[in-house]
């Protein structure tokens, strides 16, 4: 194991997720993207309101998703955010990403960790426009050139209907 | 008494007296009595899109759907036919189906165990013996309330609560010529990819519907940032397209040009473009040269009242009214059934990248529509008419295109056509009265 689950590693993961949240809060998207490996997959499936007994489950691959992105897809989204003509982003949204319930487990590869967390995203715009989204994340973090990087992220929302007009951030 | 129906002030408002001069009264986007009348005279009366047949593959397949604020269960019955019933128990009114989709042998109310078959008939209930001893109790009279009519057009399932409504074919009329561009450009027909995404907009439903009916103007301005991200360049000037149109039939509306792949190109995926180019000769053979050039062109569509889609991006959606100032947006993705899996995947991903709540195009729409709704809270603001006066003299005869045809996709003609149909329905006391007027 090149990544032992010692206290230092767990603290490093906490610090990594907090730093990531701070970059998102500040809309520092190009820097945020640098936290991903080149082969990263970022997936936020759409959630359906189905019965417990339904073998389809409430979400799954090959179905509609808010994000089913590789790094080049993420880059396109970021390009829009950075564009001077993204009228809906001005005045800017004021974001808070709160990350909690962090659990660190060994990964499938020796240079990887599986990390569970819960994220709460509060967005405020104009005077009283606001939306709160919740998500449970499962990340695969990989050690690349000494640094932690996100190789895979799955975010599952509890919301079967997004309680907002858009999702102009990342969770 | 109903403040929406028995209300002379609403009678006057919904006549839309300024429409032929290109003016709309803003109160139709704000007033609660107008909204109440819409639920009765638009949504309880029109053919509403409720499902794609591919979502109901086997007996017992069901999904819930909305006709205005009335929820129905759409189900494939044992004999393979489709049915739709109000999702409300005739005993105490509770919903009998809580899942949005799935596979069922019937529907059981959680409250008292009243249970219903796939045909909507009452089968039994908790303590059935007590009911059986009740003199005059008639199970046969107590099923789930069915819609008045249900029909399909090339895979799309529609339903209406109004027995007097014209048939679906008559309701769509010559608009089927246009619908075939997306529904029948391949012999295998179409299907929806799995899943469904819903979001909530703080806008009046008509503001979204009219945008898809005709608003090519906003494409280059509102979506400048999205085009830059996906194409690396702005949307071309649509006012200078040599051949572009607004067409409408019975309030159904399609704005388009003939650039073949303008919308599809925004998915920035060669798999999609190669597929369309590879299909082109076949599509020409099926639909002719003109319609083959509409398959993925810069265009948008609304089927009256609230079922919209974008050819090329293939996002299909309904704008469900939730009060005068709130709309629930339900979205799906359409693909050709015979397309290779990687083409279907490309469309699923591309539609989500562009037109989902996180999509680079859709993100900019909600903000505008909410603003266009909320400003009307101001009583003085609400008195100011809105300008719908573009293309007042753009109506043309076209040798191929049916319906009301206007030259130029940067136009307000389709929006006026939508509101004209809305106004007719909002005034008419019945379909029979309206159909008689249509004929005259």
Using CA coordinates, name the residue in chain B closest to A93.
B367
* Chain A nearest C-alpha distance from B289 (Å): 33
Residue A1: which pLDDT band, with cuts at 50, 70 and 90?
Answer: very low
Cβ of B357 and A76 within 8 Å?
no
pLDDT at A127: 86
Please give the helix or strand (H or E) that residue A88 lies within, else none: none
pLDDT at B261: 96
Average per-residue pLDDT for chain A: 95
Residues 95-154 of A with CB under 8 A from B: none
For residue range A28-75, list pLDDT tens digits in order.
Answer: 999 999 999 999 999 999 999 999 999 999 999 999 999 999 999 999
pLDDT at B1: 60
| Residue B194 backbone phi and psi in degrees, to 5 | -65, 155
pLDDT at B242: 80
Residue B409 · residue B216 · CB < 8 Å: yes
Using CA coordinates, name the residue in chain A closest to B64.
A49
pLDDT at B432: 94
pLDDT > 80? residue A147: yes
Cβ of A76 and B229 within 8 Å?
yes
- Please state the pTM of the whole predicted model: 0.97
| Residue B385 backbone phi and psi in degrees, to 5 | -70, 155
Cβ of A162 and B357 within 8 Å?
yes
Mean pLDDT, residues A142-164 taken together: 97
pLDDT > 80? residue A2: no
Cβ of A46 and B195 within 8 Å?
yes
For residue range A70-107, list pLDDT tens digits in order.
Answer: 999 999 999 999 998 988 889 999 999 999 999 999 99
pLDDT at B328: 98
Cβ of B358 and A77 within 8 Å?
yes
Cβ of B195 and A80 within 8 Å?
no
* Chain B nearest C-alpha distance from A20 (Å): 19
Residue A3: which pLDDT band, with cuts at 50, 70 and 90?
Answer: low
Q: Which of A46, A57, A123 to mutate to test the interface with B (most CBs of B within 10 A)?
A: A46
> In chain A, what percentage of residues exceed pLDDT 90?
91
Average pLDDT, consecutive stretches of 10 residues, N- to C-terminus, chain B (440 residues)? 86 97 98 98 98 98 98 98 98 98 98 98 97 96 97 98 98 98 98 98 98 96 91 88 94 97 96 98 98 98 98 98 98 98 98 95 94 97 97 97 98 98 97 88
pLDDT at B234: 86
Of A62, A83, A162, the CB nearest to B199: A162
Any A CB within 8 A of B110 CB: no
Report ipTM (2 d.p.). Answer: 0.95
| Residue B201 backbone phi and psi in degrees, to 5 | -115, 140
């Amino acid at each position: 194991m090149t990544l032992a689950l010692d206290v230092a590693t767990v603290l490093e993961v906490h610090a990594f997720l907090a730093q990531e949240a701070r970059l998102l809060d500040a809309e520092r998207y190009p820097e945020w993207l640098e936290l991903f490996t080149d082969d990263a997959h970022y997936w936020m499936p759409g959630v359906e309101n189905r019965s417990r007994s339904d073998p389809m489950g409430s979400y799954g691959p090959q179905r509609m998703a808010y994000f089913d992105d590789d790094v080049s897809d993420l880059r396109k989204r970021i390009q829009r955010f950075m564009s001077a003509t993204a009228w809906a982003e001005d005045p800017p949204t004021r974001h808070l990403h709160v990350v909690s319930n962090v659990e660190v487990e060994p990964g499938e590869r020796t240079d990887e960790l599986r990390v569970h967390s819960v994220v709460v995203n509060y967005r405020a715009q104009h005077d009283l426009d606001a939306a709160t989204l919740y998500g449970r994340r499962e990340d695969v973090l990989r050690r690349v050139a000494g640094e932690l990087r996100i190789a895979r992220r799955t975010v599952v929302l509890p919301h079967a209907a997004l309680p907002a007009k858009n999702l102009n951030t990342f969770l | 008494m109903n403040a929406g129906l028995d209300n002379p002030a609403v009678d006057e408002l919904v006549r839309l007296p300024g429409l032929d001069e290109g003016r709309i009264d803003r109160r139709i986007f704000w007033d609660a009595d107008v909204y109440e009348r819409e639920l009765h005279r638009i949504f309880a009366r029109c053919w509403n899109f409720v499902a794609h047949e591919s979502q109901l593959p086997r007996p017992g397949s069901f999904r819930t759907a909305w006709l205005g604020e009335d929820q129905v269960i759409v189900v494939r019955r044992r004999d393979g036919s489709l049915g739709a019933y109000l999702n409300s128990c005739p005993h105490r009114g509770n919903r009998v189906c809580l899942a949005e989709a799935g596979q069922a042998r019937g529907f059981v109310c959680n409250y008292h165990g009243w249970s219903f078959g796939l045909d909507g008939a009452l089968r039994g209930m908790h303590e059935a013996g007590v009911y059986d001893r009740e003199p005059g109790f008639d199970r046969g009279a107590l099923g789930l309330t069915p819609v008045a009519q249900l029909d399909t057009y090339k895979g799309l399932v529609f339903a209406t609560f109004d027995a007097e409504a014209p048939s679906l074919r008559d309701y769509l009329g010559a608009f089927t010529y246009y619908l075939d561009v997306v529904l029948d450009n391949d012999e295998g027909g179409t299907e929806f990819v799995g899943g469904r995404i819903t979001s909530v907009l703080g806008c009046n439903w008509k503001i979204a519907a009219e945008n898809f009916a005709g608003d090519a103007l906003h494409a280059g301005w509102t979506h400048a940032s999205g085009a830059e991200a996906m194409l690396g360049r702005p949307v071309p000037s649509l006012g200078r397209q040599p051949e572009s149109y607004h067409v409408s039939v019975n309030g159904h509306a399609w704005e388009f040009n003939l650039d073949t792949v303008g919308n599809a190109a925004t998915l920035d995926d060669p798999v999609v473009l190669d597929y369309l180019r590879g299909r082109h000769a076949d599509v020409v053979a099926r639909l002719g040269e003109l319609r083959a050039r509409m398959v993925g062109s810069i265009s948008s569509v609304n089927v009256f009242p609230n079922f919209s889609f974008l050819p090329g991006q293939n996002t299909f959606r309904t704008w469900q009214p939730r009060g005068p100032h709130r709309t629930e947006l339900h979205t799906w993705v359409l693909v050709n059934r015979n397309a290779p899996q990687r083409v279907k995947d490309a469309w699923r991903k591309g539609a989500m990248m562009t037109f989902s709540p996180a999509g680079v195009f859709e993100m900019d729409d909600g903000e505008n529509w909410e603003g266009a709704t909320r400003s009307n809270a101001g009583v003085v603001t609400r008195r100011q008419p809105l300008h719908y006066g573009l293309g007042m003299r753009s109506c043309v005869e076209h040798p191929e295109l049916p319906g009301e045809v206007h030259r130029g996709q940067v136009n307000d003609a389709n929006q006026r056509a939508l509101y004209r149909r809305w106004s007719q329905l909002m005034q008419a006391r019945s379909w029979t009265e309206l159909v008689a007027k249509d004929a005259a």
